[in-house]
Amino acid sequence: METETIKKLLHKYDKGFTTLKEEELLRTYFVSTKTIPDSWLVYRSFFGYFNEASAIALSNTEKKWFSFRPWMAVAAMLAIAVTLYLNPPSNSSILTPEEQELYYAFDQFQNNIKRLSLNLNKGTQQLAYLDYWDQTTKKLIK
């Protein structure tokens, strides 16, 4: 009966449909049972790995190169305050009507240049075809 249950759970595990409780049941079965079928030996080493890995405590041997100190936060806030005091934000977002006209004219100029560039590129593609035609006729003449 137990082997049938484990067989169903293994099939369910392979499909990826097991719950955490079912995986815990599989883990305890493979760790505690001495004799299992040969086809399940792979599962024993797999579930045994989790058991061994949880017993090993990882030691933090890396030395921290940076540690936060409260005075650093105070210094950062002070630096921000001094910067804002020396360079106050200006109200440059309010534009005069003349400046708005200039920006609008510049935007139109950019759009017209882009259209011109697209049309010139189309002409360049057609010239490339003429160059190919010229090379082909030179080969035929020779």
Question: What pLDDT was estimated at residue 55?
Answer: 66
Residue 26: which residues within 8 A CB-CB, separation 6 or more? 6, 9, 10, 13, 18, 43, 47
The DSSP element (H or E) to which 111 belongs, if any, is helix 97-141
Residue 95: which residues within 8 A CB-CB, separation 6 or more? 103
Question: What pLDDT was estimated at residue 54?
Answer: 66
What are the 10-residue block averages of pLDDT along the chain, 142 residues in total?
Answer: 82 88 86 84 78 63 68 89 84 80 94 87 71 79 74
- Tell me phi and psi for residue 73, to 5 degrees: -65, -40
Retrieve residue 76's tokens: 């950062």
